[in-house]
Structure 1
Amino acid sequence: MDERLNERLANLLDRLEPLLPPESVPIDWHSDVAALWERHALGGRLVPVVPRDTLQLSALVGIDRQKRALVDNTRAFLAGRPANHVLLWGARGTGKSSVVRALINDLAAEGLRLIQVDRHDLGSLPTLVNRLRDSEYRFVVYCDDLSFESNDDAYKALKSVLDGALTGPPDNVLLYATSNRRHLMPESSADNQETHIENGELHHGDAVEEKISLSDRFGLWLSFYPFNQETYLEACGWWVEQLGGTFDEAAREAAHRHAIARGVRSGRAAWQFAAGWVGDPSHG
């Protein structure tokens, strides 16, 4: 084989290599309870991961209603009963992501398996769902901090999997998503210009209907709001004591100042306060 041909073949391989899928990582759903979905040019692959924390649902203060609804829906799904796709939406730091992550720690023994998909990989979501179709396990496919811009077509893949495809999602797959937006897409005043009243009824324009139609495909909406003062302090006290500290009057006053400085009362703010307070040796 002549040198020129070898050079051309080497150049061709260099160009093809980025298109080849990464080396596959073996996954055993009997022992692997969570995985990441990584998209590549030829589809995607599942990468097993160990959940980064051991957070239990009991640790999440101030969201009892949301926890109960999510656990009930998930347990119905695990038992083979009808269950809904879930959209958890609301203010930042209020427990949306934490409650989904805690599910795997509480319910893995009951058969739950969790797969996280990055928003930028949603275009390959149908590939993932079809790969899971024949598995004996039950999966929650989870997308964190989900939102789309007006010119983003990735939401079409999500709509298709949720409700729009001919076959629909398999019985062993549910989609859970968290978002700061209830309708997942930005809403502008221009969208409302098409709204009109007909026979005494309010009708939205096509732009609004398109944006609403995506979130409508989630059968269960769970809303999360900033904590009031009492709930915030309860969360601060819980975390301070869990971390080995004492939530005395000085800690309460410091927690109150922390919320004012951050401009928010939330579970995340409570955890951050507790970590800083207990970690400071002057408070020991």
Structure 2
Amino acid sequence: MDRLEQFLDRAERLLERIEPLLPPVQTAPDWDATTAFRWQRRAERGYLEPIAVTPRIELAHLHGIERQKTTLLRNTRQHLAGLPANNALLWGARGTGKSSLIQALHRAFAAQGLRLIEMEPEHLTDLPRLLPLLAQRPERFIVYCDDLSFDASDHSYRALKAVLDGSLNGCADNVLLYATSNRRHLVPEQMADNDQARISGGELHHGDGVEERISLSERFGVRLSFHPFAQERYLEIVRSWIEHLGGSDGDSEAARQAALAYALDRGSRSGRVAWQFARDWVGRQGLPAAEHV
């Protein structure tokens, strides 16, 4: 064991000794302090931490995902009205607006009683601890899990399946789970999975192991796909962000060519790349000409 490993081992043992001496955490937060919270875990104890500052993303700012926006907006309205609604999985390419859409929905409906609780993927097994705290509240909650995925050897997805089928939809009627992922079925798909597949009546049937993993994504009644944007859609989003940031030359050929070069350099045409380019472009245009690099 090298010196770094020895140091980390001693530090971990020291934290374990200090933990009982720390003041107890408050599991139930001040519900009036904010409209967004983050589930934290200290040792084996979980608690809700208020999030003072949330992203200022408006639904009107999100372009190129109208179908996804309409579907999730309707599902969220049903939830707020106390009507039946579904857990949602937003999957697809990075930077295409999955997380931004959930954050924008929270901002749009916070005044109507919608509360957002951010939860790390590895903490989802704490849902049975969290739900009793929420079940008696008058607000409507969305538990938001960003970048949810499981390794092929990680069997904790089975615990999440049980929660989605049981507690989340049963005991806490005022709670939904909205998750984002880069993977359609939340778990990696291997070439070896095809070895278990069989053909019956002209139809492909996966092996039991694959079927079990796929069944996790099927627990989400709303499944929305997000794909990279075509060039013209990407440029349309660039123009929109430039206008939003106070620029006036988003339609210029110079902005168009620079935006395409920016996307090529990053290997992606996405809403995130469009936003980043627009910030860079408007910022550079605001500098005196002598300060341009």
Alignment TM-score, normalising by the size of structure 1: 0.88
State whether residues 62 and 101 of structure 2, in contact with CA within 8 Å, keep that contact through their aligned partners in structure 1: yes
Structure 1 residues 173 and 245, CA, compared in 2 at 3 Å: closer, same or farther?
same
Contact 1:160 1:168 in 2 (8 A): no
Describe the superposition over 1:118-149 as per-residue Cα deviations: whole angstroms up to 9, x where unpaired: 11212212211232122111100010000000
Q: Secondary structure at the match of 1:130?
A: helix
Gaps of 5+ in 1: 1-12
SS of residue in 2 equivalent to 1:93 = coil
Name the residue aligned to 1:3.
none
Larger CA deviation: 156-165 vs 211-220: 156-165
For 1:245 and 1:263, the matched residues in 2 are separated by 25
- Report the Cα offset of residue 233 of structure 1: 0.8
Which residue in 2 is equivalent to 1:133?
135
**Equivalent-residue separation in structure 1 for 2:189 and 2:125 (angstroms):** 23
Structure 2 residue aligned with 1:159: 161
Q: What is the CA deviation profile of residues 198-224 of structure 1, one whole-angstrom value per residue up to 9, with x for unaligned ones? A: 455432211111111100000000110
- Runs of 4+ aligned residues of structure 1 deviating over 4 Å after TM superposition are 13-16, 19-22, 164-167
1:18 alignment counterpart = 19
- 2:73 & 2:34 partners in 1: Cα distance? 21
**5+ long unaligned stretches in structure 2:** 1-13
**TM-score, normalised to structure 2's length?**
0.86
The correspondence for 2:173, drawn from 149, 171, 174, is 171
Query: Once the two structures are superposed, what CA deviation does each residue of 1:206-248 show, in whole Å capped at 9, x if it has no partner?
Result: 1111111100000000110111111111111111111121212
State how many pairs are aligned.
272
C-alpha distance 24-31 of structure 1, shift in aligned 2 (>3 A): closer
- Asked if 1:257 is matched to 2:258, the reply is no
Greater alpha carbon shift after TM alignment, 161-170 vs 100-109: 161-170
Matched to 1:18, the amino acid is E
Aligned match of 1:277: 281
SS at match of 1:161: helix
| Closer, same or farther: CA 180–167 of 1 in aligned 2, 3 Å | closer
Contact kept in structure 1, 2:238 and 2:275, CA below 8 Å? yes
Report deviation, 1:282. 5.3
Root-mean-square deviation (Å): 2.3
Are 1:21 and 1:41, in contact at CA under 8 Å, matched by a contact in 2?
Answer: no
**Residue aligning to 1:8:** none
- Percent of aligned positions that are identical: 55
In 2, the alpha carbon distance for the partners of 1:168 and 1:59 equals 35
Measured at CA, do residues 116 and 244 of structure 1 come closer, stay the same or move farther in structure 2, by a change above 3 Å? same
